[in-house]
Structure 1
């Protein structure tokens, strides 16, 4: 590009009067520089207060004060779109742009000229414009005007992950986890997100984005890290009990139907239990889990929860017949850590409770008590 050019102009194709004059005067001595690819991308979050000057340009009063006339094209201060010439410019949430601002993009995209304060400047910009927007029935904040829609060469519609495996891949790719989150806990999170998305209690027009599942996984990991910090455990591994923090933490990310006011936490808790039971059946179906039910057959209680460490939980259950098979089904290797084994034990106990083979009680101190249903 021409050294110092605001519009990233090619040395052989200068656009502005100053660059054309400079190219004529200097010829092959015209100074140039390389524009790195990281600088060839521009982005603007569309907001209602975005102006034509932000996107296209406006008259620079300082240049006018320096003696140039208003009709001089060199008085124009170019906006973000022309400054991304020979690059890619992205408009995020395009419908949020006021309709009169959207109109200003029409000439730039089709006729390749800009109009600023009554002055028209021909700018054959080499620019790819991309924009994102929710479907119109998802938001009442605005719309894309029809002439501007016509300027776009292609529309790509995306959707939520169709398969559970895709949802899991997305969580693993995007979530920043501060603790180990076993696969079965991630599966509970993914199933929970899909259940919330499909629930009739949730406003389908607002949707439940993929960010919901990502934030849920990060919340579970944070809960595990908190427990290990309180108990002084060297390794942080999430257990199924850590998912309880999701319902209150992520309540604000879901829009409910008007008839569900006051029942939001109750609805989310029910969907979380459903997701846990589905994961339990998918992971441990067909296994003999009588060893776990026999732990409480004589009126004994198994205590777990956010204040019970892995070693303490394993000490309570001792050697449980079938635990090795459970850990194998959950994807742990032949030598699981104490935290991983505790995660497997707690998942089996919770699954047995949800399938009505164990009772469960919660204490005010944050402990969970599993016992016999008899």
Structure 2
């Protein structure tokens, strides 16, 4: 949230505002014009949104140009909330409001009784404040205990106790929606709202006003309502009532990244890594996540969130940091052996079909092996690894694990040209990166059944002929 004051020189009274030539634009017009200007100028309206460029974003842009309220439908972890939170970037950076007004009303159009009185009494001297666009986005996570008062408003007993009568509209304490006047309201997991609470939004979306407990007060609100929902919620936890669905001008389906490179880009963008995680490990995690989404053993109605791959990358990097701390490696780099920690830590993030009870670990390990093998074929296709097989068969066993440093791993192999070729394929220059690349080649040979791999008595992994 931006708390800085507006730049110096902005008008501070409504008279100065009119003299400056400022024109009032409804929120929908403001967003439409700013979006079209960005598209014409070639500027990116949706920074940080990956994988939706040819599908979701064009639909959303058309909805905003049309001035529609929008509901995003999609499984968990598809970036619905992130997309909603980029919408304020289409608002003007600063907008004028009546200073001290409860609802942030525009100085040209006061809507509450108190602001109307002030505007009539003060005329051109009505004070103006400036609100940043980040303050014009309000978000609510829909929960079953959400009330009409939370969203719309209710009688404020404190104001009644001050001497106002119950019939006085100024006894109302406004809820989230009216307080977002001239802004955007985002509601996450809309079907979780009780149906009677959803009814309270009908007037907001059609007549663009609110009514509280039978009061005659009607506020002509200027808000854009956007929401997210899981499609399964229509029949499981709750549903969006038909009249409310009808009032949304656009219903847009989101999806998981269609391309592997987009999946990797999401991980790179969202993960907070504590150590270097080479690209080939991120690719394995991306492939692993995509295989889980295709598996008949996994409940696809729940989906496999992008957060799974992000958390996996963070776990792998943490495993490298842990090994570095224990073994004294100054700049630890994640290796394929660290991928095993993903299964141990994150299996609870995947929901399996009921018939797979007891086989969860087997399914995860199988799919991780497939993801690793696919990455090896993609990355090392055309490289003759026979000299590496011969080196493993002729020399002693090659040991890796959480108690083996990158230097020790490389020291177990002779200096052969194929290791340089493998490192070059992965762009591996440091000792840690080189060890990670060589270990992946060894794992690929094991998965192709060209060498063996067994755990030793200390829990480390031994590659041998």
Unpaired runs of at least 5, structure 1: none
Tell me what 1:136 maps to: 232
Change (3 A) 1:248 1:152: same
- Superposed CA RMSD: 1.3
Tell me, yes or no, if structure 1 residue 235 matches structure 2 residue 331: yes
The TM-score with structure 1 as length reference comes to: 0.96
Alpha carbons of structure 1 residues 272 and 141: separation in structure 2 relative to 1, 3 Å = same
1:134-157 Cα distance to aligned partner (Å, 9 max, x none) = 113687211111111111121221
Q: Does 1:168 align with 2:261?
A: no
Question: Given the alignment of the two structures, is residue 363 of structure 1 paired with residue 459 of structure 2, yes or no?
Answer: no
Given the alignment of the two structures, is residue 277 of structure 1 paired with residue 342 of structure 2, yes or no?
Answer: no
d(CA) in 2 for partners of 1:287, 1:12: 71
Higher relative contact order (CA 8 A, sep 6+): 2
- 1:366/1:175 CA distance change after superposition, 3 Å: same
Q: Check if 1:341 corresponds to 2:434.
A: yes
* Structure 1 residue 366: Cα displacement: 3.0
The Cα shift of 1:9 comes to: 0.8
1:299 positional shift: 6.5
Q: Deviations over 1:9-54 (max 9, x none)?
A: 1112111111111111111111121111121111001100000000
- CA deviation map 1:201-230 (0-9, x unaligned): 000111101111111111111111111111
Of 393, 398, 402, which aligns to 1:306? 402
Structure 2: any 5+ residue segments left out of the alignment? 1-96
Match of 1:53 in 2: 149
Q: Which residue of 1 aligns with 2:387?
A: 291
Q: 1:80 aligns with which of 168, 176, 180?
A: 176
> In 1, Cα distance between the equivalents of 2:142 and 2:436?
45
1:157: which partner in 2? 253
In structure 2, distance between residues paired with 1:366 and 1:242: 13
Shift of 1:300: 2.2
User: Alignment partner of 1:259: what SS?
Assistant: helix
Q: Secondary structure at the match of 1:132?
A: strand
Out of 116-125 and 56-65, give the one that drifted further. Answer: 116-125
- Name the count of aligned residue pairs: 369
Distance 2:365 2:234 in 1: 25
Deviation track 1:164-183 (CA, whole Å, cap 9, x = no partner) reads 11111111111111111111
Q: Kindly provide the CA deviation profile for residues 237-285 of structure 1, in whole angstroms up to 9, marking residues without a partner as x.
A: 1101110001121111111000111111111011001100111111112
Match of 2:193 in 1: 97
2:155–2:171: 8 Å Cα contact kept in structure 1?
yes
- Does the 8 Å contact 1:208/1:254 carry over to 2? yes
Distance in 2 of aligned mates of 1:329 and 1:8:
58
Secondary structure of the structure 2 residue equivalent to 1:283: helix
Task: Establish whether residue 43 from structure 1 lines up as the match of residue 136 from structure 2.
Answer: no
Q: How far 1:94 sits from its partner (Å)?
A: 0.6
Q: What is the rounded CA distance, in whole Å, between the counterparts of 2:265 and 2:355 in structure 1?
A: 34
**Between 313-322 and 88-97, the greater mean CA deviation after superposition:** 313-322
Correspondence for 2:447: 354
More moved, 210-219 vs 77-86: 210-219
Whole-Å separation in 1 of the counterparts to 2:235 and 2:416: 53
The 1-side partners of 2:381 and 2:321 are apart by: 30
